[in-house]
Amino acid sequence: MGKPTGFLEYERVTSKALEPKERIKHFNEFHTPLSEREQRRQGGRCMECGVPFCQSGMMIKGMTSGCPLNNLIPEWNDLIYSGNWRQAYNRLKRTNSFPEFTSRVCPAPCEAACTCGLNGDPVSVKENEFAVIERAYEEGTAAAKPPRIRTGKKVAVVGSGPAGLAAADQLNKRGHSVTVFEREDRAGGLLMYGIPNMKLEKGVILRKLHVMKEEGVVFETGVHVGENYEAARLLKEFDSVILACGASEPRDIQVPGRDADGICYAVDFLKMTTKSLLNSNLTDKTYISAKGKHVLVIGGGDTGNDCVGTAIRHGCSSVVQLEIMPKLPDKRSEDNTWPEWPRICKTDYGQEESIALFGKDPRMYETTVKEFKKDKSGKVCGAVLIHVEQKKDPKTGRIQMVPVEGSEKEIAVQLVLIAAGFTGSQKYVADAFGVKLNERNNVFTQAGSYKTNAEHVFVAGDMRRGQSLVVWAIKEGREAAKEVDQALMGYTNLV
């Protein structure tokens, strides 16, 4: 332990965010990194516990506790404190393929499981990770390191989100020749078009993709496997195939008036904004604009919050965000003890911006849509909202959200964004390769395995486990790479 009393002497400090009314003027990241001196002090807050829950990656009551990648957090916290940044990077990269992504978008289950957080503030693990990787790029430590020997084996990865990139990165380091196929015009998948620029600037993704290309990974964009590129051709040309296409089938809202113009999925809204931003700085007007509109966001999760923040940057007149579940408590309840994931109410950046701009939190809890209203031209002009309450189904014993009669309320709406999650993978890809799906519409594999029922075909990420965190996608990609390597070589030395 670099500083045995660090957790007693140093207060938790994190990077400062621009004020909401300033940051909504652009789509750039808006945090100012800490100084090196302060960042080293933050590393010194780590207790280097005998049992480091921060790196456990356990599932407790269906929720993640600690880092799923089992990052060696106490080790690189100590190295940060001592100023050994190069070695800190080496230890961080041992388990995490993309700290430049996770340090920006991960909800940090490591911090939620930090022992310091039991009786105080947890170590700022996410900030420390950010400092390590950004310094590595500045000093050249994160530069390309192509493999010295090639195995002669060829692997195709379908999908360039975090799972696909992680699998490609690992297999390429092993010496296999890897080609990544992406249906969009840019590689990056969810990272590129599913996460707004203010959370993850696209230059960060392009920087890493450039390194991977220099290391030998080939990227083929605009290739829609299962449509304009036959699965049979892929299986013929490559020794193994990894499917990493995500859980990209959006959940719909089936109520009267759903066919009105002006109702779209959040994923389309966010993708079109980012694509227009990258192509023309929004001047081409090829995106769904919220400017001057009353916006309704259906869904209280991260994607819903991203829609709130994006709509505000467009210049919306107002924004309401519906959450069907009750508001979580502001502090841990007695039955939600450490090191479980804290089920508490958090106000994210988009909600902060709504409060600053419109004077109120956009969220309406225990509320859903009963009906959409259309004007004479068929455009959405309003929504009938209804309050719901929790009731136990007498037959199944499950808790259901039941509408409360007489609680209807109509609001004016010109744009509706459905951010209600996803129902699994898109079936046409599975059909193209002849792989089985499970009852949740995800690709079926045996427990602990990433191999599908189809010969030489593997799967990783949300396509296998369902909608989840970026950090879990990276974990899945790395684990799938190990299984593919084992199948190709008879053994594996990947970790």
CATH number for the domain spanning 89: value is: 1.10.1060.10
Residue 209 and residue 134 in one domain:
no
331 lies in the same domain as 412: yes
| Residue 212 maps to a domain | yes
Question: Are residues 412 and 267 part of one domain?
Answer: yes
Q: What percent of the chain has pLDDT over 90?
A: 95
DSSP 115: G
pLDDT given for residue 397 in this prediction:
84
Instruction: Please give the Cα distance from 206 to 118 (Å, whole number).
Output: 38
Question: Per-residue pLDDT averaged across 414-422, rounded?
Answer: 96
CA angle, 406 then 409 then 413, to 5°: 155
Main-chain phi, psi angles of 201, to 5 degrees: -60, 135
Whether 11 contacts 121, CB under 8 Å:
yes
Question: How many separate domains does the chain show?
Answer: 3
- Residue with tokens 């993309």, as numbered in its chain: 98
Full-model pTM: 0.96
> 139, 163, 191 — which closes off a domain?
139
One DSSP character per residue, 179-220 reads: EEEESSSSS-TIIIIIS-TTTS-HHHHHHHHHHHHHTT-EEE
Q: pLDDT tens digit string along 437-495?
A: 999 999 999 999 999 999 999 999 999 999 999 999 999 999 999 999 999 999 999 99
Evaluate whether residue 174 is within a structural domain: yes
Burial 289-321 (b: 16+ CB within 10 A, else e): bbeebbbbbbbbebbbbbbbbbbbbbebebbbb
Region 38-51: what's the mean pLDDT?
94
pLDDT at 183: 96
The predicted-structure confidence for 126-147, as pLDDT tens digits, reads as follows 999 999 999 999 999 999 999 9
- Could you tell me the maximum CA-CA distance found in the chain, to the nearest angstrom? 71
**Residue 339 belongs to domain with CATH number:** 3.50.50.60
Say if 147 falls within a structural domain.
no
Q: Shortest CA distance to 384 belongs to which of 293, 296, 269? A: 296
Question: Measuring CA to CA, which residue among 429, 422, 428 is closest to residue 159?
Answer: 429
In a domain, 292, yes or no: yes
> Looking at the structure, do residues 119 and 208 belong to the same domain, yes or no?
no
444 & 329 share domain: no
pLDDT digits (tens, 9 = 90+) for 214-272: 999 999 999 999 999 999 999 999 999 999 999 989 999 999 999 999 999 999 999 99
pLDDT of residue 272: 98
2 has pLDDT over 90: no
Question: Is residue 301 domain-shared with residue 334, that is, in the same domain?
Answer: yes
Which domain covers residue 68, as residue numbers?
A: 6-139
DSSP state of 250: B
The verdict on 295 and 340 lying in the same domain is: yes
pLDDT value, residue 1: 65
Given 418, 451, 481, the domain boundary residue is 418
> Do 106 and 225 sit in the same domain of this protein?
no
Q: What is the DSSP letter of 277?
A: H
pLDDT of residue 78: 96
- Out of 107, 139, 171, a domain closes at 139
Q: Are residues 43 and 127 in the same domain?
A: yes
pLDDT in tens, 265-312: 999 999 999 999 999 999 999 999 999 999 999 999 999 999 999 999
Query: Do both 278 and 410 map to the same domain?
Result: yes
Closest CA to 331 of 345, 350, 318: 345
- In this structure, are 355 and 403 located in the same domain? yes
* Same domain (yes/no): 107, 19: yes
Write out the two tokens for 119: 């009786």
Which pLDDT score is estimated for 25?
98
